[in-house]
Amino acid sequence: MSKYEEITRARHILELPETTTMKQIKANYRRLLSRWHPDHCTGQNEKAHEMARKINEAYQVLLDY
């Protein structure tokens, strides 16, 4: 996967527009992680762990960029 594809995928996971600010990245990261945090998602434990992992990885990709 190219760096562009990786960034685009991360942007989609964090529900961000093509042009965004660091403030938006952090806000969406916090909002999504709060929604999908395994401690808050009862009954969907496996999916919550997977989504939290994807959200964290996407956030890290965008921070590195």
Radius of gyration from C-alpha coordinates of the chain = 12
Domain count, the chain: 1
pLDDT at site 3: 92
Residue 31 in this model has a pLDDT that exceeds 90? yes
CB atoms within 10 A of CB 55: 22
The domain that holds 58 is classified in CATH as 1.10.287.110
pTM: 0.90
pLDDT of residue 39 exceeding 80, the answer is: yes
pLDDT (mean) for 19-33:
96
40 pLDDT higher than 90: no
- Reported as a single tens digit per residue, the pLDDT across 42-56 is 778 889 999 999 999
Share of the chain above pLDDT 70, in %: 100
- Amino acid identity at 52: A
Tell me the residue range of the domain where 16 lies: 3-64
